[in-house]
Structure 1
Amino acid sequence: MPEPGEDGERDGEEPDQRSTDDEPDEGVPDGGVAVDDVSTAEAPRAAEPTATAEGRNASSLGRLVGGLPRPGTVVRLARREARLTVRRGWALGLTVLLAVFAVLLATFSGSSVAPSGYDPVVASYVELATYLVPLAALAFGHGAVVGAAERGRLGVLLTLPVSRAETALGILAGRAAVLSSAVVLGFGGPGLLLLREFGLAGWPTFAGFLLATVAVAVALLGVGVAISALAPTSTFALAGSLLVWVWTALVHDLLALGVLSAFGGAGEFVAAMIVSNPVATYRLLALAPTDAASAGLAAALNGSGLSIGLLLASLLAWVAVAGVVAAVALRRKRI
């Protein structure tokens, strides 16, 4: 298929004037997408913004991604991606896996060899999620773009009056919604056992853990989607995602602790090491309300100038940067 230009049209051809209503959602391969608020008169405008729109979107970000995306179109693309993702059953498997581990930890929390109370159980959940959730998020995102391109599904999607930036953001948003639901259901259901056993006193600690886990899952998913948009093949995307997981979940903290010992725990360096790794940020964010926040990198948090709000904002910044990288990479990718 000839490569579409940066504005979504094939070189030398007129924009497709067919109404998208002629192609129902289920009639398009792989579920399709209904962009039913874009009429035939609006299709050329979607592909090539008018002078007025160009004036409004003349920011550097707009030029970088080829025009600012339309929220309504992104939402429709996200719904399509979420629907297709749920059909594959991957999210259900992750939900069951998280729930099984969480139930085991919550069920045996009253035994003499298991943690007791909200703080120890949440600390155990964080240790589980530190390794499992980033791995699942990266695996979930690494084939989002390059895999769809290799199967021909992305090319079909780009024949519609949607920009590549909208496509990238829609893929990320749709998968983020499914992944967030899997995390909340997987850990939230067993969390009711904690509520029954320990009461409402420590429930805010558990709610903070859920929020932090969703945030790091979406952040690593964004990194996976960005890798998928940058990688030439699915094999390269898988290798890159595995390297990112090894670095963020296994290597970074060990290296950071060694460097901190050598530099005497300088506050500015601590802050830089924390925000440079979303998994380290997550661990501190989730453990901050618990007694477990006194070990490792968390012990240096007080001198770093970071707050809970800044930690959460850094995870959201990872999502935003990953979305921009994915949009720019997809704009330049040959499909």
Structure 2
Amino acid sequence: MVAMPEGGAGERADDAGRPEPTTDGGIALDGAVAAGDGGGATAEETPPADALDEPETADATDAERISIPLPRPGIAARIARRETRLTTRRGWTVGLTVVFAAFGLLLATFSGSGVAPTGYEPVVASYVELATFLVPLAALAFGHGAVVGAAERGRLGVVLTLPVSRVETAIGVFAGRAAVLGSAVVLGFGVPGLLLLREYGLAGWPTFAWFLFATVAVAVALLGIGVAISALAPTSTMALAGALLVWAWVALVHDLLAMGVLAALDGAHGLVAAAVAANPVSTYRLLALAPTDAGGAGLAAALEGGLSVGALVGVLLGWVALGVAVAAVAMRAKRI
């Protein structure tokens, strides 16, 4: 008979092969052996002395599942670059840019007519009204399939076999799509902006640049909500339905209800600020029009309620953080 080396069971487990990926996308810890592989410790082996004083591991396992490791920026950046390449190859960058540019060029072209708005401020006000409906719809449509669509096609499962966590995956997917969407907004609305620059000169260009900044901010905020919906939804159809419901709420229903409530309560300033902050589209409209005369009255009411221009930017950033956080938590609980 061949003599067994010391520590035979443990060494056979190490020689059995590399550890398998965990469901969280990471790698199994050293000494954690899958049940039934023939290399683990037997039931007759005596546990360590210090383990005798600890309760059975059910509670500890639950605690480990609840704990969220800190994401590694380098890993999230790699996933973001991969997501950017994939969405660009599928035509999202070109499609979104063409949509924004087409509508923007229509407004810029007809702005020279006698019945259309002229000058930077009136044209920007028209762009804001257009972006209020178009940009949230595009952002939610772009984000609703980010997680559930990739899971149904099997692409997300392949990513999670790598040594990456689901939190890093959620952040990377959002960041990659945010780069694509932000570029499409700048390029799409920037093309008609060059026509405005040629027609009206540099005097009002800062107003248009501020409009671009605010539009990118609200697009990224709605994209975060779309990715969160995608992580929560069980199917792509449910995700699409949820995205459409959210768009109808933020673009149509919320402001109508808020106006009715404020009119009934005689426009209490604190409620004005709360109504603006509760809807990223309302925040965007006020933020984008802040440098113009069109936004003066609304901004004055919001300022009395405690919302400055910096606070409006902070509100949109808060919506971004909320969407990514919900997506990360939902992905940890999602079965893929």
Q: Fold match, TM over 0.5?
A: yes
Find the counterpart in structure 2 of residue 306 from structure 1: 307
Distance 1:76 1:65, change over 3 A: farther
Identify which of 129, 132, 141 aligns with 1:130: 132
How much has 1:122 moved relative to structure 2?
0.2
Gaps of 5+ in 2: 1-19, 36-63
Q: Output aligned runs, 1:143-162, within 5 Å.
A: 143-162=145-164
Distance 1:306 1:229, change over 3 A: same
Identify which of 185, 188, 197 aligns with 1:195: 197
Find the counterpart in structure 2 of residue 67 from structure 1: 69
Find the counterpart in structure 1 of residue 322 from structure 2: 321
Aligned amino acid, residue 322 of structure 1: G
Q: Distance in 2 between the 1:4 and 1:136 partners?
A: 35
Find the counterpart in structure 2 of residue 80 from structure 1: 82
Tell me whether 1:273 sits opposite 2:275 in the alignment.
Answer: yes
Q: Distance in 1 between the 2:221 and 2:192 partners?
A: 24
Q: Distance in 1 between the 2:164 and 2:26 partners?
A: 7
Q: Output aligned runs, 1:116-265, within 5 Å.
A: 116-265=118-267
Aligned amino acid, residue 102 of structure 2: V
Find the counterpart in structure 2 of residue 43 from structure 1: none
Determine helix, strand or coil for the equivalent of 1:306. Answer: coil
Q: Deviations over 1:255-301 (max 9, x none)?
A: 11111111111121111111110000000000111121156x55632
How much has 1:175 moved relative to structure 2?
0.2
Q: Distance in 2 between the 1:204 and 1:13 partners?
A: 61
How much has 1:303 moved relative to structure 2?
2.3
Q: Distance in 1 between the 2:204 and 2:97 partners?
A: 24
Length-normalised TM-score, structure 1 = 0.81
Q: CA RMSD in A?
A: 2.1
Aligned amino acid, residue 188 of structure 2: G
How much has 1:5 moved relative to structure 2?
3.6
Aligned amino acid, residue 191 of structure 1: G
How much has 1:7 moved relative to structure 2?
6.3
Gaps of 5+ in 1: 15-61
Larger Rg over CA atoms: 2
How much has 1:74 moved relative to structure 2?
0.6
Same amino acid, percent of matched pairs:
72
Find the counterpart in structure 1 of residue 26 from structure 2: 8
Aligned amino acid, residue 8 of structure 1: G
**Number of aligned residue pairs:** 286
Q: Distance in 2 between the 1:143 and 1:264 partners?
A: 42
Q: Distance in 1 between the 2:219 and 2:111 partners?
A: 25
Q: Distance in 2 between the 1:139 and 1:3 partners?
A: 32
Q: Deviations over 1:64-84 (max 9, x none)?
A: 662010001111000000000
Distance 1:131 1:64, change over 3 A: farther
